[in-house]
Structure 1
Amino acid sequence: MGKRNIVLTGMPGAGKSTVGVVLAKRIGYRFVDSDLVIQEKYGKLLHELIEEQGVEGFWKIENEVNASLELQRSVIATGGSVIYGREAMEHLRRMGTVIYLKLPLAEVVERLGDLNARGVTLMPGQTLEELYEERVPLYEKYAHRVIDCQGKQIREIVHTAASMI
């Protein structure tokens, strides 16, 4: 296996962090959660940053942090809104294989629970359905590979992702 990274994208609740940890163990890579990198860098929780900076201010931070990641042999779980950052996504595509964990809206809704606690960036008045419709074409645009996660268990998704490397 080369030094290329694996970058997981998808809606909040799609399982990026969970799949990422298990996948990293399976293939002997490091696991990096870019949301945790942001929290460490700023010393604040995501929802605190969103409250302070606003949604678009948070996207700027997310774009900047992801665009500056320098990693090798890592599985990177990104935040759901990373796809709004063109610089970040172009950088992540150059440094690794971007895998979109695709989940139908109904499953996203079921898994998410409290959106604020999850640090989901909704614009004022925006519904989760509108957010989903807005993001899916972007996830698809930047992905090298897509895994349909509907009704699949973590180990199946990990197996599929490992076979794409």
Structure 2
Amino acid sequence: MSPKAQKSNIVLIGMPGSGKSTVGVILAKMMAKDFVDTDVLIQLEEDKTLQEIVDTEGHMQLRKIEERVLLNVNHQNHIIATGGSAAYSDAAMAHLSENGIIVFLNADLPCLRSRITNYETRGLAKRPEQSFDDLFAERFALYSRYANITVDCSQLTQEQVCEKILNEISR
């Protein structure tokens, strides 16, 4: 049995707009697994939106909260959609990879720009002056480092992304 087959979770990482939440729901249905979106877990725990956390406590506090929430994710047989800044935490990524295959949904900048129309109000854990291009460059290296599987999804439908993930996992 391959190491991939022994891990029961699939953990989706990538930029905001890469499709983690949407692909996660579809993939969960296709694989008969439960689904969890860690951005929703953060909002439920904090009783605030991500943007409210950034506005009142700052982007670094959002990253700390996200790390705490991720370190408490102890699911089996789940599709886990993480927030875009999950990869900033070595500890959280190590924890998620213990029982999860890390899948980087890689969308290029033009694709992400077409999907993200609320960059300034989306609740991103970014420096106030940081442009989307800078954020993309900074995070791309992190996502690439942690990924077991990378799916280039800019030109694919969400269903095609799921099929690619399933094909890679079964290898």
* TM-score category (smaller protein): over 0.9
Q: 2:38 aligns with which of 34, 40, 43?
A: 34
Matched positions, count: 165
CA–CA distance in 1 between the matches of 2:113 and 2:151? 19
CA deviation digits over 1:110-150, x for unaligned, max 9?
11001133222221211100000100000000011100102
CA–CA distance in 1 between the matches of 2:136 and 2:123? 15
**TM-score using structure 1 length:** 0.96
Q: 2:145 aligns with which of 131, 136, 141?
A: 141
Q: 2:22 aligns with which of 1, 8, 18?
A: 18
Report the Cα offset of residue 22 of structure 1: 0.3
Contact 1:122 1:128 in 2 (8 A): no
**Letter paired with 2:148:** H
The equivalent of 1:48 in structure 2 is: 52
Q: 1:124 aligns with which of 123, 128, 137?
A: 128
Q: 1:164 aligns with which of 154, 159, 168?
A: 168
Q: Equivalent pairs: percent with the same residue?
A: 38
RMSD: 1.2
Contact 1:5 1:74 in 2 (8 A): yes
Contact 1:7 1:96 in 2 (8 A): yes
Gaps of 5+ in 2: none
Contact 2:59 2:124 in 1 (8 A): no
Whether 2:58 is the aligned partner of 1:75: answer no
- Partner-residue secondary structure (3-state), 1:121: coil
CA–CA distance in 2 between the matches of 1:117 and 1:86? 26
**TM-score using structure 2 length:** 0.92
Gaps of 5+ in 1: none
Q: 2:113 aligns with which of 109, 112, 124?
A: 109
CA–CA distance in 2 between the matches of 1:49 and 1:160? 35
